[in-house]
Chains A and B, each alone.
Chain A
Amino acid sequence: NAGVMQNPRHLVRRRGQEARLRCSPMKGHSHVYWYRQLPEEGLKFMVYLQKENIIDESGMPKERFSAEFPKEGPSILRIQQVVRGDSAAYFCASSQGRVTPYNEQFFGPGTRLTVL
C-alpha cells in the first residue's frame, strides 16, 4: 500500500522559471493538502483540495502560485516566475475526508525546491 508520493524529490530552478510539483495521494484518499516549510520554520498550510475543487486556499500567496487536483492524475502545485524566496520544502498530505474521530493527514516525503 503505497503512501503519499511526491515528485520530484528535488527541483532546481533559475529565477523566472516555472516549478511544477506533483502529489499522488494514498489509495482511497480524495483530499489533498499542500504545506510549505521554509528553513528553520514549521509547516505552513497553503491549500486544501478535493477532486476538481479548491476548498480552502487561504494560505496561498496571491500571485504566481496555483494548485489543482484533476479528476484523473496527481495534484499539481505550480509556481510561476520563481524567486529565491520560494526556496523551501513543499509537503503534500492526503486524507480520506472527515472520518471521526480524526481526519488523519498522511504526509509525503516532500519536494525540496531550490531557486538559483
Chain B
Amino acid sequence: EDKVVQSPLSLVVHEGDTVTLNCSYEVTNFRSLLWYKQEKKAPTFLFMLTSSGIEKKSGRLSSILDKKELFSILNITATQTGDSAVYLCAVEAPTPFGNEKLTFGTGTRLTIIP
C-alpha cells in the first residue's frame, strides 16, 4: 500500500523565520509528488514535482524532490502570518483502473506567530 509520511506534524515559528517541511514516501509506480496548502477549506495546489533535483519556486516558497531517497522538502522563507496553514504532501500513482490516485500524508500544521 502506498504511504506518505510528513514531518514534523506541527511547527510553530515566529514571523520572518525560515521553515522546512519534510515528506517521505513509498509508492509503486511513482508519477509525481504534489504539495498543497490547506487553510480552513479546500486544499490549494502549490507545486508538482516529477524530476529529482529540480527546484520549483513560487515567491517565498520552494520545493525539491529526491527520487533516489524518496523524499521532498518544502521551504518557506521570511514566513508571514498568512502562511499559517496545514501543508499536505501527496504522491500520484496510476491504478489498475486507468486513473491516477493521490495518496496524502497527514500534513504539517504550521503556525506563524506575529
Residues in A lying within 8 Å of B, measured CB to CB: 3-4, 31, 33, 35, 40-45, 48, 55-56, 58, 91, 98, 101-110
Say whether B101 contacts A110, CB under 8 Å. Answer: no
Q: How many A-B contacts are there with CB distance less than 8 Å?
A: 58
Across-interface contacts of B45 in A (CB, < 8 A): 104, 106
Instruction: Tell me what chain B mostly uses at the interface: helix, strand, loop, or mixed.
Output: strand
Which of A33, A42, A109 is the most central at the interface, judged by chain B CB atoms within 10 Å of its CB? A42
Across-interface contacts of B32 in A (CB, < 8 A): 102
Stretch of B13-21, B59-67, B69-77, B104-112 that contacts chain A: B104-112
Say whether A109 contacts B42, CB under 8 Å. Answer: yes
Within B66-114, which residues are at the interface with A (CB < 8 Å)?
A: 88, 90, 92, 95, 97-107
Give Cα A103–Cα B95 distance, bound, in whole angstroms.
Answer: 14
Which of B32, B41, B105 is the most central at the interface, judged by chain A CB atoms within 10 Å of its CB? B41
Say whether B104 contacts A42, CB under 8 Å. Answer: yes
Across-interface contacts of B36 in A (CB, < 8 A): 107
User: B8 at the A/B interface (Cβ < 8 Å)?
Assistant: no
Say whether B42 contacts A43, CB under 8 Å. Answer: no
CB-based closest 9 A-B pairs: A42-B104, A107-B42, A56-B97, A43-B104, A42-B106, A109-B41, A107-B43, A109-B42, A48-B99
Give Cα A41–Cα B92 distance, bound, in whole angstroms.
Answer: 18
Could you list 5 examples of A-B contacts with CB < 8 Å? A44-B104, A56-B97, A98-B100, A101-B50, A110-B42
